[in-house]
Amino acid sequence: MQTAHELAATLHALDGKSYGAYRAIAHQCYHYPQFTLQVERVQSDPFAAPSAVRVELPPDSAALPASLHRPSLRAVAAADFLTRAFSRVARQLSVDLGSGNSGMIVIAPVSQVILDRTAVQIDLDGTVIARFTVGLPAQGRRILGRQAAPLLTEVLPRIVTASLCYPALDAAALRAQVELVEDAEALRQGLHERGLVAFVANGSILPRQSGADDRPLSTGAVPLRSPPSLEVTLPCPHRGTVTGLGIPQGVTLIVGGGYHGKSTLLRVLEQGIYNHIPGDGRELAVSDRQAVKICAEDGRSIAGVNITPFINHLPRRQSTANFSTANASGSTSQAANLCEALEAGARVLLLDEDTSATNFMGRDRRMQALIPPPQEPISPFIDKVRQLYVERSVSTVLVAGSNGDYFDVADTAIALNDYQLHDVTAAMRAIAQRYPSQRQPEGGTSFGELSARYPQPQSLETRRGRRAVWVKVRSTDQLEFGENRIDLSAVVQLVESNQLRAIAAALIYVRQHDLDGQQPLHTVLQCLQADLQQFGWSALGEPLPGDWAEFRSLEFAAVLNRLRSLQA
Ligand code: ADP
Ligand code: MG
């Protein structure tokens, strides 16, 4: 192993040479007083993806109290804190040193949620590992060795010690984040036994800065206050107790006038599967871990899904027991999204009229009279939603601003008026009695069967052109995987592109391991999570990149299901 001094000397000697000579420092490990630096990959030119490095701080240097990184949930919370600190300090201390990304030290960007990520990991013994990128400096294609030396041996250690070593950190803020994550997790764990699917603490800030900015709305936000009848007080380890809105199991409607905050509340429930950073406004808003948003998504591809619970006898006798299409309609896409979510373990369904197919959601009396059931392939969700709860214990929270027929099938109704919540369950029942919908139920006697699917490994082809593996993630909305270009804008619970990169790696992994064409998808999902549990991130390959984040089986399946090449 070489010292940082020797690295500086090497970089000085490279000054003026052509960019490719930077390869001299690749795959080397350098010893610094407080950590080791490993150069994992050297970029090919100053405009290419920057070079990947990894630093490892032994427990003595990181000096994290054990109470902040054991058990592993605390390590995830603390590592997230360190990642954000690194990002901040690196932004302050990085300087533009020349062409392209010269001089830039960057850690993978994060969102408002706290996730297990490869960017910073804290081992059981308190070792801290950080993975980030460095733009090795050049002017044109000439190495700026005299700038590279201080960048790697002065600036980089300054960033590392100011963001990854406990003495330099805001200890109170770090502890607050760790305790918050434990509290939120305890609230989430407690939901099921209390008969709840979600909890939103009083005082939570629901609206966001904008559609493109996930930080809390800074002025004019009306903090959440639960209606007294839905208010629950839950215990948690650090705060003692928290009081707020408890959304019960069963079928819950969110009603109210347009622009009164319905979709905003539902979006908070969607994101309640994650823990949020302090100050986010949703840090004490938690949902069942298996809650899934179900949207219509016309145009998506579908591979061999049994959608007979919702759709039967399509024109031209197309089978819906094993339904495949390259171009789904609004209703078939929503039916497939729902059946696929059940296959992947969904326990709570979140639907918004705004993003649903109208004919999937319901058919009123008059339409039933004009187009009688034999001519309508769809058994609408309104006739299935109770079956899902009674037969499969799958609850639903639905934003219903227009369809009062749902009053017949709902257990609870929450109204939003001027962003204030009211329990209107009793009024809903009274109105349902006074004005019968006179609909004919079209859902049959039971929800119906779901079929296991067997994804075929060769249909997860990674090849594109001459490249054996082509994977590109540009945002949370789009993945290029081999020849596939997958639109994920309807998979709204993917919040970081880091998750999508990890999912892409996991697709490659399952193709080589668990997926053999004989195993049903739900078994493949279980095997993948078990392998990740047992072997950690390195199950997916070494050396680890710094831009992976944890994901649920539900999102993994959602990506797999949208591969246009998929055969199942
Ligand atoms: P709806 O779905 O009922 O039509 P939205 O949830 O889309 O309404 O909200 C409409 C607007 O009100 C959005 O701009 C949103 O950010 C804002 N908003 C939602 N909830 C609140 C709140 N509690 N305080 C202030 N503004 C809010
Ligand atoms: Mg809305």
What SS3 class is residue 83?
helix
Give distance in angstroms: CA of 297 to centre of ligand 2.
Answer: 17
Spell out the residues 6+ positions from residue 108 whose beta carbon is closer than 8 angstroms to its own: 83, 117, 119, 132, 498, 546, 547
Give distance in angstroms: CA of 265 to centre of ligand 1.
Answer: 8
Tokens linked to 520: 């049903």
pLDDT at 19: 97
Q: How confident is the model at residue 481 (pLDDT cuts 50, 70, 90)?
A: very high
Q: What is the pLDDT of residues 82-93, one digit of tens each?
A: 999 999 999 999
* pLDDT at 1 exceeding the cut of 90: no
Q: What is the pLDDT of residues 9-57, one digit of tens each?
A: 999 999 999 999 999 999 999 999 999 999 999 999 999 999 999 999 9
Tokens linked to 175: 């502890």
Mutation choice for ligand 1 from 217, 226, 264, 420, CB with most ligand atoms inside 8 A: 264
List the beta strands (DSSP E) in 158-312: 196-201, 208-210, 213-216, 231-236, 240-248, 251-256, 275-276, 285-287, 291-293, 302-305
Pairing verdict, β 138-139 and 128-134: unpaired
The sign of the CA dihedral 365, 413, 184, 264 is positive
CA-proximal residue: ligand 1, atom 10 (nearest): 259
Residues with CB under 6 A from ligand 1: 206-207, 220-222, 256, 258-264, 419
Spell out the residues 6+ positions from residue 154 whose beta carbon is closer than 8 angstroms to its own: none
Q: Which ligand is nearest to the CA of 219?
A: 1
Task: Write down the mean pLDDT value for the chain.
Answer: 96
Count of C-beta atoms within a 10 Å radius of residue 521: 22
Mutation choice for ligand 1 from 215, 224, 254, 259, CB with most ligand atoms inside 8 A: 259
The CA–CA distances, whole Å, from 204 to 197, 200, 244, 245 equal 17, 7, 9, 10
CA-proximal residue: ligand 1, atom 9 (nearest): 261
pTM > 0.75 = yes
Give distance in angstroms: CA of 293 to centre of ligand 2.
Answer: 14
CA-proximal residue: ligand 1, atom 11 (nearest): 259
- Asked whether the bond before 543 is cis by omega within 30 degrees of 0, the reply is yes
What is the rounded CA–CA span in Å between residue 93 and residue 151?
10
Alpha-helical runs (H) found in 472-545: 497-512, 521-535
Give distance in angstroms: CA of 489 to centre of ligand 1.
Answer: 21
Q: Which ligand is nearest to the CA of 214?
A: 1
Least confident of 189-198, 263-272, 457-466, 549-558: 457-466
Give distance in angstroms: CA of 485 to centre of ligand 1.
Answer: 33
* pLDDT at 531 exceeding the cut of 90: yes
